[in-house]
Amino acid sequence: MVNTSLQLISFTCAVTGWVMAIAVTALPQWKVSAFIGSNILTSEIVWEGIWMNCIYQTTGHMQCKTYDSMLALPADIQAARALMCVAIFLGWLSCTVSCCGMKCTTCAGDDRQAKASIALTGGVLFILTGLCVLSAGHPFPVYSGALAS
């Protein structure tokens, strides 16, 4: 019973991480830059993501623009796009495989050896998903601020 509840808790955490990876892929806040001019009224924040970039001004106006050409993007953004798409697919695959290998399901029948190997495969796929997400976010600095005088 303890193993079953531990599997359910682990599966819930892993699925939550996969859903968060999907959310992070869509958000434009991969790189945030702030610019404050000599007048405090002329400040703006630039958000750069892997799909679009947005400029937010202190007047409350926000303008987002998707990238025009996929081939004209820098290599780090192209790599991050590819890694995040692979991570989302691997997350879906690992959810499916892990669900089949859990003790509370009847997918593999009563064969404990088969269920354990299926669950192990799902866990390894979740680890690969996490590594893809971590390596996709690595080349991006989180925040860079600039002050103009």
Cα separation, 65 vs 63, in Å, equals 7
C-alpha separations of 114 from 27, 53, 55, 103, 127 in Å: 39, 47, 52, 11, 20
pLDDT surpassing 60 at residue 145: no
Q: Which CATH number fits domain 8-138: 3.40.50.2300, 1.10.10.10, 1.20.140.150, 3.40.50.300?
A: 1.20.140.150
pTM for this prediction:
0.80
What are the pLDDT digits (tens) for 26-67?
988 888 887 776 666 567 888 888 899 899 887 888 899 998
pLDDT at 32 (0 to 100)? 83
Packing angle, helices 2-26 and 112-137, rounded to 10: 30
pLDDT digits (tens, 9 = 90+) for 103-134: 888 887 788 888 889 989 999 999 999 999 99
